[in-house]
Amino acid sequence: MNIHVYSAQRHQIFQNTCQCRSFKTRLKFGGNRHLFCTMASTSVTKVEKGRRGSFGLNPPSYSQIRLVLVGMTGAGKSSSGNTILGRRAFTAARRFSSVTKECGKVSENVAGREITLVDTPGMFDTDMLEEELLKEEISKCINMTAPGPHAILLVIQFGSFTKEEKLSVEKVRAIFGEESDKHTIILFTHGDELDCSIEEHISEANEDLKEILRRCGKRYQVFNNKDMEDRNQVVELLEKVDAMVAANGGEYYTSDTYHDVERMLKTKEDELRREYENKLQEKERELKATFAEEKQKLEERLNEYKRYYETQLREFRLKEEQTNTNENKLIKILTKLKILTV
């Protein structure tokens, strides 16, 4: 399990992208007020014991799925993320209160493949973040899901579909683009509060919600986040994600924004790779130089020892020769003396 924390470097990459190609996206909120935000233009079968349902999927043509949870505060984004992962990885907010202050990313193996899940803060609310914070969170969201999400999970809680919720959906489209509709699945939460079938609920919904469903190809899934042990709802969602990706030609969602960010990320990675290679070569040269210097010092010390022992050997031989010569002379002298004596 890998928990990814957004880095200032990746935010800077997105900001640099914004300087390359940018456009103004107008996000309306609160009457005549507007916020202008500058953005880049751009199965393996597995049965879990103690859990209801067979948690298995047919193997897809891709090994990793990138999912991003979007929607209003209190709709159940973080709780839905926890349900998908099967554990409490995100801090869930109480209704209408935002606990998630910044984008969070968790990668984990679910149903035999790697799921990367991005949870977003209340940047789609009517009461929006300050412009700079909003731009930062948007850049985080895009960077964390680069090169693009396989599915955008639009989280909407059961009940009357309000104007604020409609506005939050429009903000999602403003950030990701209209083409993102083809990659969006509506995730209805608070399924435990549903007192009729989902089809009946949709048939009685207002036209705004029906229009959003039509735009998203009538793709939806019902979640009861109070029953995290029910893995069937997760399997159904992932199967719908697979079907949607297949219908989209096996492609994830992307846009000029994602292309620019991905190019910028690749450029930065290439720069870092070259920088690290240069540092590695420099370190190699330093080590070789140090080794050569140490080798030279070692050779000098060895030569000193060699000269020392050679000197000792010569002195020993001279001493021995001198000693032997003197003894021979003494023997000769003694021999002569003996002769004379006789």
pLDDT confidence bin for 265, thresholds 50/70/90: low
Tokens 């079938």 belong to residue:
197
Tokens 């948690």 belong to residue:
55
Burial of 201: CB neighbours in 10 Å, binned 0-12, 13-18, 19+: middle
Could you give the CA distance from residue 35 to residue 29 in angstroms, rounded to a whole number?
8
On whether residue 217 sits in a domain, the answer given is yes
What rounded mean pLDDT belongs to the chain?
Answer: 75
On whether residue 325 sits in a domain, the answer given is no
3-state secondary structure of 22: strand
User: 223 pLDDT exceeds 80?
Assistant: yes
Contact of 100 with 121, CB cutoff 8 Å: yes
Determine the residue type at 58: N
User: 225 pLDDT exceeds 70?
Assistant: yes
On whether residue 117 sits in a domain, the answer given is yes
Among residues 234, 239, 152, which one has the least CA distance to residue 191? 234
Residue with the bigger pLDDT between 329 and 75: it is: 75
On whether residue 43 sits in a domain, the answer given is yes
pLDDT confidence bin for 245, thresholds 50/70/90: very high
- State the CB neighbour count (10 A cutoff) for residue 163: 9
Across the range 206-210, mean pLDDT stands at 91
pLDDT confidence bin for 35, thresholds 50/70/90: very low
Determine the residue type at 233: Q
Which phi-psi region, left, alpha or beta, contains residue 190 (left: φ > 0; alpha: ψ -120 to 50)? left
On whether residue 326 sits in a domain, the answer given is no
Count how many domains the chain has.
1
Determine the residue type at 324: N
Q: What is the CATH number of the domain that holds 188?
A: 3.40.50.300
Identify the bridge partners of residue 119 per DSSP, sorted by sequence position: 69, 104
Quick one: tokens of 46? 């597995």
Could you give the CA distance from residue 94 to residue 4 in angstroms, rounded to a whole number?
24
Q: Do the bridges between strand 220-222 and strand 184-189 make them parallel or antiparallel, or are there none, so unpaired?
A: parallel
Beta strand ranges found along 10-150 (DSSP E): 22-28, 34-40, 64-71, 104-110, 113-119
114-166 residue pLDDT tens? 899 999 876 666 565 566 777 777 778 888 888 888 999 999 988 778 888 88
293-324 residue pLDDT tens? 888 888 888 888 888 888 888 887 777 666 65
DSSP H or E run through 79: helix 77-85
On whether residue 107 sits in a domain, the answer given is yes
Q: Do the bridges between strand 22-28 and strand 34-40 make them parallel or antiparallel, or are there none, so unpaired?
A: antiparallel
Determine the residue type at 248: N
| Cα distances (Å, whole numbers) of residue 258 to 11, 63, 137, 249 | 13, 20, 15, 18
pLDDT confidence bin for 260, thresholds 50/70/90: low
At 319 the pLDDT is 75
Question: Which are the contacts of 315, defined by CB distance < 8 A and separation ≥ 6?
Answer: none
266-302 residue pLDDT tens? 777 778 788 888 888 888 888 888 888 888 888 888 8
Q: List b or e across 27-56, with b for residues whose CB sees 16 or more CB atoms inside 10 angstroms.
A: bebeeeeebebebbebbeeeeeeeeeeebe
Question: What's this model's pTM, rounded to 2 decimal places?
Answer: 0.60
Measured in degrees and rounded to the nearest 5, phi and psi for residue 16 equal -65, -40
Question: Cα dihedral sign for 222, 223, 226, 230?
Answer: positive
Identify the bridge partners of residue 34 per DSSP, sorted by sequence position: 28
pLDDT confidence bin for 188, thresholds 50/70/90: very high
Identify the bridge partners of residue 166 per DSSP, sorted by sequence position: none
| Boundaries of domain holding 213 | 2-254
